[in-house]
Amino acid sequence: MDDTYLVEIRLARTRWRVKETSRAIARTYGAERYRERHPHVTLYGPFTLEDPAQVQSLLDTIRAGAGTIGAVPFMLGGWERLDGMHGGVVAFSVCPSPALVRLTATLARALSCFTVSLNAWDLRPDEKWFHVTIANRLPPGKSEEIISGLTSPEHDAPSHPAAGPVTPGLVARLLSLVQRAGLPGRHHKALIRPILLDDAGLRITVLHNEEILGEYDLLRQQWLTREEIHNPRSWQQSMALYRRSAGFELSAPVVHGQDGIFLIADLHLGHANIIRYCSRPFVSSDVAEMDRVLIANWNYQVAPADRVFFLGDLRYGRDARPEAEYRALLNGNITFVAGNHDGTLRNTVPSARLSCDGQEFLLVHDPADAPATFSGWVVHGHHHNNDLRVFPFIDFTQKRINVGAEVIGYSPVSLEEICRIIREQKPGSEKTRLLRYPYEQ
């Protein structure tokens, strides 16, 4: 068999969530042997080189094609299937940003000059199927069975977690217990819910016969050494560069009017696992870095005289610092609305009310606690970015606003900005999923 190559982008922030969800799907539907072990978005290939000596030309062409593009955002959401000559494929849908579309087309044009692609999509990059494979080479009928199960009506029911984010890891463990107990499939297949998350390609990985040939860092604009590819510290540096370029890590005070009112929820300071559960742009091995950035972002956004309404879940976990230490580090005149993880937090209130621009706002941690008779806007946290279809940044139909840290870009949002967005709502828009993200569908 000829040597084969593949150019891909491996998942960054969402890798853990996607792997856990894929594992749960494979176990539930008996497709473990077909599961994709390294979630990625294919840019080009698989392919062979017309001349085996053109490996350096391959790397040089990829570097030239990447140029100064930086991180390439995309959105993961929903399920798709395709039956091909090598069997069925079940995948996460990918909605690409214009940057990802351009990068793929540029590489396809340049690499086709001296490669032989084995992927029909490379011949028509403008029609490319962007996806992240869950399982492939499935036997006849299997992909249809999986998609039918995943898209059954039970999966469309809104989720209302009562105690913080529902994690795919927990789902996988529950599924395993259910399966070992021998309970009928109809009782556990509904536990797997589709994800809707943004991510961004930070590195281009080139595979040669399933081994990494090279990895190009899109933010540093250089090929990494073999040591850097596998070094967690190097990945931490790539993630930091991404945060700064995307605006998730502020470096200077944000200028705004005097005596502003700001809102944010669900910092989860000291909580390492929240990095994986909610696909935060940090590495889970260094929760101190997450704390440092979140606190700095708060203080760059909020002046000492500003009012802040924090809507619950300040800290979490046995390794978190005492609440008094965290409070002392945060700017502003802060009102703490109690969250479900704030059992020991002192001087909290169950809810608060604000008025702005002729609108009434009720501030709570869990939107389920809002009275059904309240006709204004419910501002909340609690759901993080775990169900953006039901709890986006702004749901204009339900009049709900999710100010969870992940949803608003990891720094407090002003009430004035929220009012402006409501005031400028475009006709026909029902939901605004994320705030301050480099790419929002």
Specify the CATH number for the domain of residue 110. Answer: 3.90.1140.10
Same domain, 185 and 326: no
Same domain, 271 and 239: no
- Tell me what pLDDT residue 42 has: 97
pLDDT tens-place string over residues 42-59: 999 999 999 999 999 999
Strand partners, 42: 8
Same domain, 235 and 252: no
> Which one, of 401, 358, 397, 357, lies nearest residue 379 by Cα?
401
Cα separation of 348 and 366, whole Å? 15
Cα separation of 365 and 206, whole Å? 45
Same domain, 360 and 217: no
Cα separation of 120 and 24, whole Å? 30
Cα separation of 435 and 429, whole Å? 15
- Tell me what pLDDT residue 176 has: 44
DSSP 352: E
> Which one, of 113, 145, 108, lies nearest residue 130 by Cα?
108
Domain count, the chain: 2
Same domain, 286 and 203: no
Cα separation of 34 and 11, whole Å? 19
The enclosing domain of 318 has a CATH number of 3.60.21.10
The whole model's pTM is what?
0.90
- 243, 267, 302: which is the final residue of a domain? 243
Cα separation of 171 and 26, whole Å? 13
How far CA 253 is from CA of 249, 296, 309, 328, 417, in Å, comes to 11, 9, 19, 19, 17
Max CA pair span of the chain: 72
DSSP 225: P
Cα separation of 174 and 262, whole Å? 38
Cα separation of 43 and 263, whole Å? 39
In a domain, 439, yes or no: no
E strand spans, 278-405: 307-310, 333-337, 348-349, 352-356, 359-363, 377-380, 394-395, 400-402
- 223, 243, 263: which is the final residue of a domain? 243
Same domain, 28 and 97: yes
In a domain, 20, yes or no: yes
In a domain, 441, yes or no: no
Cα separation of 196 and 93, whole Å? 9
In a domain, 365, yes or no: yes
State the DSSP H helix or E strand holding residue 9, giving kind and residue range, or none if neither. strand 5-10
And the tokens for 281? Answer: 């742009």
State the DSSP H helix or E strand holding residue 101, giving kind and residue range, or none if neither. helix 98-111
CB 69 within 8 A of CB 438: no
Same domain, 183 and 257: no
E strand spans, 97-224: 115-117, 131-138, 196-201, 203-208, 211-217, 222-223
Same domain, 211 and 298: no
- Tell me what pLDDT residue 183 has: 35
Same domain, 186 and 252: no
Strand partners, 248: none
Same domain, 53 and 159: yes
State the DSSP H helix or E strand holding residue 45, giving kind and residue range, or none if neither. strand 40-49
Length of the chain: 441
pLDDT tens-place string over residues 206-258: 999 989 999 999 999 999 999 999 999 999 999 999 999 999 999 999 988 77
- 206, 224, 243: which is the final residue of a domain? 243
- Tell me what pLDDT residue 319 has: 86
Cα angle, residue 228 at apex, residues 236 and 271 outer, rounded to 5°:
20
- Tell me what pLDDT residue 85 has: 72
Residue 257 domain boundaries: 247-432
Same domain, 118 and 265: no
Stretches where the chain sits below pLDDT 50 are 155-188, 190, 441
Cα separation of 279 and 384, whole Å? 10
In a domain, 440, yes or no: no
Same domain, 257 and 146: no
> What 3-state class would DSSP assign to 92?
strand
